[in-house]
Amino acid sequence: MKLSHIGIGVACVVSLVIVSAATGYQPESDMKQQVTEAGSPDQASPSSEGMTVQYLEIVTPMVDETCEALGNAHGVEFGDPIPEFGNARTADLTSGGRIGVRAPMRATETPVVRPYILVDDIKASVEAAEEAGATIAIPPMEIPGQGMFSIYILGGIEHGLWQL
């Protein structure tokens, strides 16, 4: 097996682990305990349930292969490219969010897995990130009919925020 194949395999495994975390997979006993402590999951708002991944973005030069691997592993089908999402192909998450896989949009954009955390007030969240030392890569921006998003970089890691 070539080293490049190992790297691709590691990237796929990492993506699958992140998707499992983002979709909220928990063993049944943990889920029962969480529901007992927090009430019905349907009653929770972004502020009352901690953090919710609204959008999980995977940027890769291997869009079709990534969609196929994730689709086969999780029994989902990715749709056609959506221009408002940088031509990402998307699938719904069981948490109510969405996962998107797209190609880099510029020559300098490197592959990344970027979760967008649902927030009640994106402007206040961006300010809090700045106060913590983050660099704002994309200030709050609206995607018509989808909400607002922002990206900041802190400690070399890209973080996304999403407000409905």
pLDDT digits 0-9 by tens, 39-76: 333 434 455 568 999 999 999 999 999 999 999 999 99
Asked if residue 94 belongs to a domain, the reply is yes
Q: How far, CA to CA in Å, does 42 sit from each of 12, 35, 38, 95?
A: 31, 10, 10, 10
State residue 48's pLDDT score.
53
Asked if residue 141 belongs to a domain, the reply is no
Number of folded domains that form the chain: 1
State residue 94's pLDDT score.
87
Confidence (pTM): 0.71
Domain encompassing residue 12? 3-118
State residue 50's pLDDT score.
80
